[in-house]
Structure 1
Amino acid sequence: MRVLLGGGSGFVGSALTQLLRSRGHGVTLVSRQGGQDRITWEELSHSGLPLCDAVVNLAGENVLNPFRRWDDTFCREVFSSRIETTKTFAKAIAEAQQPPRAWVLVTGVGVVLGRGGGAISQMLWPFRLGLGGPLGSGLQPFPWIHIQDLAGIVCHALESESLQGILNGVSPSSNATSNGTFARELAAALGRPALLPVPAWAVRAVFGAERASMLLEGQKVVPKRTLESGYKFLFPELSGALKDIVA
């Protein structure tokens, strides 16, 4: 297939691009900068959709960016980065003479775990130094997914002829994983203790009350339809996923 990928230069996009190309698909990225196998969002908006079989949109500002305050400016950036890019794709698809047969919008997945980026990159050094621990009570759910499985689910959706609807991007064992369990498993994978919980007030101080609630309350999610669709997870269990990432 010829796949047009929005937001493909980031952590998840790079993994998905690599997987798609390894399976024989062509990938063109939509990003801020043009170049080889790339077009810009401005080109997409003005010139329309290039000939393609599938469209995937991964674009979106990281909601939990610890270096940005949750103020009106950042809030607008978070919404705009998702909504405006999706509108641009929707308009281009609607106006295309030969629209793609598949469109995948990636949003609301679990915490993406993988080497060289994502959530793990922010956690590794505190845990390596023995300073890691659960957030708040540690009892809150911690939905997670290995980056290879997130890329795999998107690829599976594109390659399946009649697949429609929502596929939750979380591992099968996420429902039984608490934040405290994750902290202990990560520490064990690194051969370190996880004795220092991060108090709730500190999480609120760094992220702001609204974003902190995402980390301190969590959400139980199960990949029921993902499994029913026939996708086989490479990393269904947390211990195996973490060993692969920190080995």
Structure 2
Amino acid sequence: MRVVVGGGTGFVGRALTQLLRSRGHEVTHISRQGGKDRISWEELSHSGLPLCDAVVNLAGENVLNPFCRWNDAFCREVISSRVETTKTLAKAIADAEQPPHAWVLVTGVGYYRPSPTAEYTEDSPGGDFDFFSRLVSSWEAAALTPGSPARGVVVRSGIVCHALESEHLQGILNGVAPSSPYTSNGTFAQELAAALGRPALLPVPAWAVRAVFGAERAVMLLEGQRVVPKHTLESGYHFIFPDLSGALKDIVA
């Protein structure tokens, strides 16, 4: 397929691009600047959607960017970066002479690394997993508040590819691994420490998380959602690592 990916140069976008190309698909990115295999958002608005079979939108400001204060301006940027890019793509699809047959919108916040090949790994650094693993491997804290939140192990690249390649698939596909929908930070820390052969000693206090991210964003890390991927499993998607322990051991290995 010919796939156009909004936000394809970002964290998840790079993993998805690698996966799609490894499966023989052509990928064109939409980003701030044009270039090889890439068009700009401005070019998309003026010239329309390139001929393609599928469109994915991953664009959006990083909600958990610790270098940006959680104020009105940043909130507007978070919303605008998602809503406006989605509107632009939706209009381009509606105006296309030959519209794509698949349209995937990725929403929500993922806490663990997506993977082009093995669900939970990616060559490039980044993401919450790196934060935890650096802490544990240096014999320091690995958890936030020990009892909460319920943290799903998020998988995105493989599910997006599955959605694109599956005919007549519609609706919401949750990317939480089926055996780990209720994993607390404390449990995550213990599992990661065990995989690394290190102790998980000192939990990071909630006040420190609020100090770094602000009260509203800290909710995403200190509280959780209990999500089960019912529709994802019913659609025929196979999780390579359905449980946290196996995923972490594969990453560490």
What TM-score, normalized to structure 1? 0.95
Is residue 126 of structure 2 the alignment partner of residue 126 of structure 1? no
Tell me, in whole angstroms, the C-alpha distance in 2 between the residues paired with 1:70 and 1:100: 37
Do the aligned residues in 1 keep the contact of 2:152 with 2:180 (CA within 8 Å)? yes
Do the aligned residues in 1 keep the contact of 2:5 with 2:29 (CA within 8 Å)? yes
1:139 maps to a residue whose letter is S
Tell me, in whole angstroms, the C-alpha distance in 1 between the residues paired with 2:65 and 2:110: 15
Question: RMSD across aligned C-alpha pairs, in angstroms?
Answer: 1.3
Which range is displaced more, 6-15 or 130-139?
Answer: 130-139
Secondary structure of 1:167's counterpart equals: coil
What TM-score, normalized to structure 2? 0.92
Match of 1:29 in 2: 29
Tell me, in whole angstroms, the C-alpha distance in 2 between the residues paired with 1:245 and 1:18: 18
Secondary structure of 1:241's counterpart equals: helix
- Note the residue ranges of structure 1 that are not aligned, 5 or more in a row: none
Is residue 150 of structure 2 the alignment partner of residue 141 of structure 1? yes
Secondary structure of 2:112's counterpart equals: strand
Do the aligned residues in 1 keep the contact of 2:145 with 2:186 (CA within 8 Å)? no
Q: Deviations over 1:136-176 (max 9, x none)?
A: 24332011224xxx211111111111100000011112223
- The ranges of structure 1 where at least 4 consecutive aligned residues each deviate by more than 3 angstroms after the TM superposition are none
Structure 1 residue 109 displacement after superposition:
5.0
Question: How many percent identity over aligned positions?
Answer: 74
Do the aligned residues in 1 keep the contact of 2:141 with 2:201 (CA within 8 Å)? yes
Structure 1 residue 44 displacement after superposition:
0.4
Do the aligned residues in 2 keep the contact of 1:5 with 1:28 (CA within 8 Å)? yes
Do the aligned residues in 2 keep the contact of 1:8 with 1:58 (CA within 8 Å)? yes
Do the aligned residues in 1 keep the contact of 2:153 with 2:181 (CA within 8 Å)? no
Do the aligned residues in 2 keep the contact of 1:54 with 1:101 (CA within 8 Å)? yes
Structure 1 residue 134 displacement after superposition:
2.2
Do the aligned residues in 2 keep the contact of 1:104 with 1:154 (CA within 8 Å)? yes
Tell me, in whole angstroms, the C-alpha distance in 1 between the residues paired with 2:147 and 2:43: 46
Tell me, in whole angstroms, the C-alpha distance in 1 between the residues paired with 2:250 and 2:67: 28
Tell me, in whole angstroms, the C-alpha distance in 2 between the residues paired with 1:71 and 1:224: 36
Which range is displaced more, 73-82 or 124-133?
Answer: 124-133
Do the aligned residues in 2 keep the contact of 1:8 with 1:17 (CA within 8 Å)? yes
